[in-house]
Homo-oligomer: A and B are copies of this chain.
Amino acid sequence: MSEPLGTVGIVGTGLIGASLGLAVRRRGAARRVVGVDIDPQARETARGIGAVDEASDGLDVLRTAEVVVVAVPPEAVTEVALQAAAVVPPGAVLCDVASVKAAIVRDLDRRLPARVRYIGGHPMAGSEGQGPHRADAGLLAGRPFVLTPTERTDPAAVAVMTDLAERVGMQPVLLSPEDHDVLVAQVSHLPYLAAAALVAAAGDRAVDVAGPTFEAFRRVASSPVELWVQICRANREAIADALARFRRELDRLDRALAGEESLETLLRRVRARAGGAEG
């Protein structure tokens, strides 16, 4: 790995932003982390837990940042990225971490000035919590950090962000923004909706007998609604496709339950796919 970065800027010191800041600082991936948040309490917490060296309510602190990570809610990303691009030094790498990529990346590719090197990103980490008080560098450890370069992405942006992802203990994965959205609908957005449907479908007394599996679904279904509504809106088509595939699999299981095909064969195939031992 190369030298640590000088200054990393994080705009939006919520759960993901602050977790990234913690990981960058603890692992010495940069000499300095500056945070920007409009919420005074988020700034204070981020500073208090050591996620940033300095926190500001304005983008001015990004003036010396080599890398800026925009970690604000999906619907605010474009506006904030455009503002940050006007402040950072020429050649700075700009990355966002929104959970839906195609619309944002294609829009920013078109609108950002050539003086910044932009690449979309998505650290596949999080929890049902939100806010910097829930931040934890361990949330990121070993998880994929998807980067979504396009034909307009400067190779230096890929190199810098791949290096940063590795430095904070994550696995960089390169995907097109469109492939990202399709895959993430399958592994993240649909599972959230399935957990919500499971909780909604369970009777009132279900919680009395909940074992570890239902507890896991319940935690997922208790995630912040506002964020998920934005995600579902932004990735509606891919989610609808994933949901259609899911319902076809449920149809098959339903037929197998009724004895129309072998439940055992079906479940063994799924288990092999899930990485369970054959058996």
Interface residue ranges, A against B (CB under 8 Å): 124-128, 139, 143-144, 146, 173, 175, 179-180, 182-184, 186-188, 190-203, 205-214, 216-226, 228-229, 232-233, 236, 239-240, 242-243, 245-250, 252-254, 257-258, 263-264, 266-271, 273-276, 279
Contact = CB atoms under 8 A, between A and B. Distances in A.
Nearest to A182: B203
A197 B246 contact: yes
B188 A211 contact: yes
B191 A198 contact: yes
A208 B183 contact: yes
A257 B232 contact: yes
Contacts of A146: 209
B240 A257 contact: yes
Nearest to A211: B124
B263 A232 contact: yes
B273 A200 contact: yes
Nearest to A242: B201
9 contacts: A144-B209, A173-B208, A187-B213, A196-B253, A197-B246, A232-B263, A240-B254, A240-B257, A246-B250
Contact of A270 (B173, B199, B209, B214): B199
Contacts of A243: 250, 253-254, 257
A263 to B, nearest CB: 6
A274 B124 contact: no
A185 to B, nearest CB: 10
Nearest to A99: B211
A78 to B, nearest CB: 21
B180 A126 contact: no
A209 B232 contact: no
Given A187-B214, A209-B146, A201 B245 contact: yes
Contact of A202 (B187, B205, B225): B187
B197 A250 contact: yes
Given A239-B257, A246-B197, A191 B206 contact: no
Contacts of A223: 271, 276
A217 B187 CA distance: 9
A221 B188 contact: no
A128 B233 CA distance: 34
